[in-house]
């Protein structure tokens, strides 16, 4: 499930063998793009639906699946002003 905020988007997903399902020992690569609309810090989550997971969720098909969350955080260094001890004006 894609992140709900507009700042995080999934640009691409690479499944093994090009299919949408994986088995134990396989991996999936998600490329998540971040586009800030202002200078604040951002938090979101990517929800992965699976048949084995930590939390139950109902799907539109009324089947019960499980999911786990991947936290997405975007942080920046806050600006700092450094001035010399003596200013010459």
Convert the pLDDT of each residue in 40-76 to its tens digit.
899 998 887 776 655 555 555 556 667 778 899 999 8
Strand residue runs (E) in the chain: 8-14, 29-34, 42-50, 55-58, 64-74
Q: Is the pTM of this model over 0.85?
A: no
What pLDDT is stored for residue 61 in this prediction?
52
Cα–Cα distance for residue pair 89/26, rounded to 1 Å: 65
Please report which confidence band the pLDDT of residue 80 belongs to, taking 50, 70 and 90 as the band edges: confident
Average pLDDT (23-45) is 86
What pLDDT is stored for residue 73 in this prediction?
92
């Amino acid at each position: 499930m894609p992140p709900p905020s507009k700042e995080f988007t999934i640009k691409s997903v690479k499944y093994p063998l090009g299919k949408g399902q994986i088995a134990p020992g396989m991996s999936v690569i998600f490329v998540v793009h971040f586009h800030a609309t202002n200078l604040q810090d951002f938090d979101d989550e990517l929800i992965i639906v699976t048949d084995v997971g930590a939390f139950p969720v109902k799907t539109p098909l009324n089947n019960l699946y499980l999911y786990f969350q991947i936290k997405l955080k975007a942080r920046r260094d806050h600006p700092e002003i450094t001035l010399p001890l003596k200013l010459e004006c």
